[in-house]
Chains A and B, each alone.
Chain A
């Protein structure tokens, strides 16, 4: 059974039709690459799955059950974590504070509950080490490099044990070594039965770790193929429109 099924998802922002009847399914342990030109609707689709806003029409099913997300937290509770394209971090907080934002670790002293800095710093440090990122838990995000910020955003998805991880261009601003770590992470997620949707403009990344690739063009899905049955050339043609559909 599919983990996630999208059925005829449409999204309009006023006169802009960002998505027009997109259907997609993802199985446990599967990584799907989502590609498309700028403005094709990739981020919009990811945000709908993550509960940022509801689709104008269409259905979302998780493990066969139809769901309706009103808030991002609803999607999180259904086992969906997301790395946003703009990362959605608070610059004025530390890396650790950002990782744990909204689900802070607390200690109790009688009836009083207070933030457990030590545990959060420790866990955040472990997550950054796992990502092989030189991100320090106590540093303010304001002072961080693009790659470090990305590590913070990715580390957030590792707090829970999600069923599905959405990554909107997680490798856009990072070094070769870190790209390898992110791809490694995606591979590990797959191996442990997690599903991943990876939005990327980088063809090698998608061909490296994804099992399938779906291509969006102007809000419509024009292709959905197994990686071993397509080529970077074909996908490029699909993205630009040189190939109508496949």
Chain B
């Protein structure tokens, strides 16, 4: 979770103004507010509450909802978006945006397929997938950080280019033969360990890693600082350009990883993989508390935001509501999430 504050000293009912000695005392010896109070102030907490409420309602509406099978499918479905949203949140934290992640999934998926189809095995397939993702992220990052181009424009261009390249190299054909490691690959993407789908394990581990990174690493601290005031960050000696590049590389690699797992689940890949996913990933990040103005990030926000979106889809399906309404509700929640965040901020600044 991001930095939190405590204000227990601000108001002290029933006491006069503090003397100097008392102030010094309170400054140096004060204790932290309870973690709970800090958590309640965050957006992921409220989204989690919404998830629980919808879940409760659904358990009455549908018998299927609480079944293990449904839970398994739902969590696996949002794992891919959650993984990508972890990277997207880092980009958004720097007040940037990455529109290329959906197309990049197509490119990374096709590259994985081609390498494995040629018989190279799963390790080279994975390395090629992550390598091409990192390269795309590097190009995005360098154009944005060093040539000072707008993130929206650069990644929009990359959205078109990456999709086009994946069409060219796949020759517009589907790949469903993954060479000698096909079984292992399909297991990785499609099966589970201890009843939890493998992609969900990846999401859980990565969320824990990101939680640590945002709270305890210098890199995380610097990304948040850049999002707050890039000029001040630069004056403090933070290598702003390099950090921004790293953030786009990270986002791209998360998309590459999601593509790798998704193809393993599907058991096939076409160059249309990930089409339109960028909007879902951005929506999940924003619902999870990322602020497009930058400077705010929550590791738990990514999976929680993605979970809410999948839950909406699943609930509509089980409640027998036309699937065509799905995007409507995702959009509605996105707008409500941002609206609530704004109202809470207004309350705080007064």
Contact = CB atoms under 8 A, between A and B. Distances in A.
B3 A72 contact: no
Interface string A122-140: 1001101100101110111
A4 to B, nearest CB: 20
A57 interface: no
A65 interface: no
A226 interface: no
A interface, how many residues as a size bin? Answer: 35 or more
- Which of A122, A135, A139 has the most B CB atoms < 10 Å from its CB? A139
A88 B234 CA distance: 10
B235 A92 contact: no
A94 B3 contact: yes
Contacts of B23: 134
A52 B235 contact: yes
B217 A88 contact: no
Interface string A87-103: 01111111001000111
A129 B228 contact: no
Interface in B211-248: 212, 215-218, 221-222, 224-225, 227-229, 231-238
B238 A102 contact: yes
B interface, how many residues as a size bin? Answer: 35 or more
A128 B25 CA distance: 12
- Which of B2, B7, B296 has the most A CB atoms < 10 Å from its CB? B7
B3 A92 contact: yes
Contacts, number: 97
Contacts of B69: none
- Which of A72, A91, A92, A134 has the most B CB atoms < 10 Å from its CB? A92
Given A92-B295, A102-B236, A129 B227 contact: no
A114 B6 CA distance: 22
A104 interface: yes
Interface of B is mostly: helix
Given A104-B221, A115-B218, A71 B237 contact: yes
Nearest to A94: B3
A153 to B, nearest CB: 10
B5 A139 contact: yes
Given A72-B237, A84-B235, A94-B5, A101 B225 contact: yes
B36 interface: no
Interface string B25-59: 00110101000000000000000000000000000
A164 to B, nearest CB: 17
- Which of B5, B232, B238, B296 has the most A CB atoms < 10 Å from its CB? B232
Contact of A92 (B222, B227, B238, B349): B227
A174 to B, nearest CB: 15
Contacts of B6: 138-139
B9 interface: yes
- Which of B3, B224, B231, B349 has the most A CB atoms < 10 Å from its CB? B3
A76 interface: yes
Contact of A90 (B2, B27, B225): B225
- Which of B225, B233, B237 has the most A CB atoms < 10 Å from its CB? B237
Contacts of B32: 138
A106 interface: yes
A78 interface: no
B83 to A, nearest CB: 23
B200 to A, nearest CB: 26
| 6 smallest beta-carbon distances between A and B, as pairs | A102-B236, A90-B228, A92-B228, A73-B237, A92-B295, A114-B216
22 contacts: A76-B237, A88-B232, A90-B232, A90-B233, A90-B295, A91-B228, A91-B295, A92-B229, A92-B296, A93-B225, A93-B228, A97-B221, A102-B238, A103-B237, A113-B218, A114-B216, A125-B27, A125-B28, A128-B27, A132-B24, A143-B7, A143-B348
Interface of A: 52, 71-73, 76, 84, 88-94, 97, 101-104, 106, 113-115, 122, 125-126, 128-129, 132, 134-136, 138-140, 142-143
Given A101-B233, A115-B217, 13 more contacts: A72-B235, A88-B232, A92-B3, A97-B225, A102-B236, A102-B238, A103-B236, A114-B216, A114-B217, A128-B27, A136-B30, A138-B5, A140-B5
Interface of B: 2-3, 5-7, 9, 20, 23-24, 27-28, 30, 32, 212, 215-218, 221-222, 224-225, 227-229, 231-238, 295-296, 348-349
